[in-house]
Amino acid sequence: MWNVLLSFSGLVALIQLVFLPFFPESPPYLLLQKGDKAGCLKAMKQLWGEGNYHTEFDDLMKEKALTKGTKIMNVLEVLKERSVYPQLATMLLLLLSLQLCGLKIFQTANLHESIIPYVSLGVAISELISIIFCSSIIDRFGRRMLLWGGYLLMALILVLLETSLLLSDQFLWMRYCSVTLIFLFIIAYGLGP
C-alpha cells in the first residue's frame, strides 16, 4: 500500500501549495539576504499582527550588523571546510539509508532485481545533486518561488507516476517511465520543499 502513502504526501503538498500564497516571505530572509527593511517590517506585522515585533526586528538588525563583514559561503566553499565533515558524513549516511526504503517501490514497478540497487543509487545521487543545486539558487529565486515551483512539479509528477504504475502491467515501457518519474520527483523535492 505504498502508493496510498505516496498519495498522502501529495495531498499534504497540495494543501501547502494552496496556502503558500497567503504567507509572507521570511523576515530574516528579507532583511539579511535581500536588505529589504520595509518588506521585513511588513512581513513581521503580517505574522505577529499589531503586537510588539520591534524587539525581534532590533535583534535582526543586530544580527545584520554582526554579519556585515562575514562572507556568505557557497556550497563548494562549505564542502572544503573541515569543520563540517562530521555533519556531512551524518547527512550522507542518512541519505544512503533512505535509499534502501526505495527498493520496494522499484520492485512494485516490476523492475528486474539485478538493476534495482543501481536505480536506487541513481536516486540518491539525484537527490544529492538537487540539494546542492537548490542551495546555490535559493538566494537568487527565494524560498517562496522554490517551494511554489517544487510543490507544483511534485503534484504533477505524482499524478503521472500513479498513472504509469497503473499502466505498467499493460505496457512494459511504462516501468521505465515510473523510474524516470521517481527520479524527477526526488529532484523536484530537493529543489523546493
> Can you give the residue ranges of every domain in the chain?
1-68, 75-191
The predicted-structure confidence for 3-45, as pLDDT tens digits, reads as follows 676 677 778 878 888 888 888 888 888 888 778 888 888 888 8
Q: Which pLDDT score, from 0 to 100, does residue 126 have?
A: 78
Query: What does the pLDDT read at residue 75?
Result: 72
Confidence label for 105 from pLDDT (cuts 50, 70 and 90) = low
Average pLDDT over residues 47-64: 80
pLDDT score of 137 more than 80: no
Distance CA 191, CA 13 (A): 14
* 162-190 pLDDT per residue, tens: 888 788 778 878 777 877 887 788 788 77
* pLDDT value at 119 more than 80: no
The C-alpha atoms of residue 187 and residue 181 are separated, in whole angstroms, by 10
Give the pTM.
0.49
pLDDT score of 100 more than 60: no
- Predicted pLDDT of residue 58: 82
pLDDT of residue 127 exceeding 80, the answer is no
Contact 12, 158 (CB under 8 A): no
Which pLDDT band holds residue 67 (cuts at 50, 70, 90)?
A: confident
Give CA–CA dist 13/193, Å, rounded. Answer: 9
Which cell is 110 given?
A: 516490476
Identify which of 160, 155, 153 has the alpha carbon closest to the alpha carbon of residue 180.
160
Cell of 179: 523510474
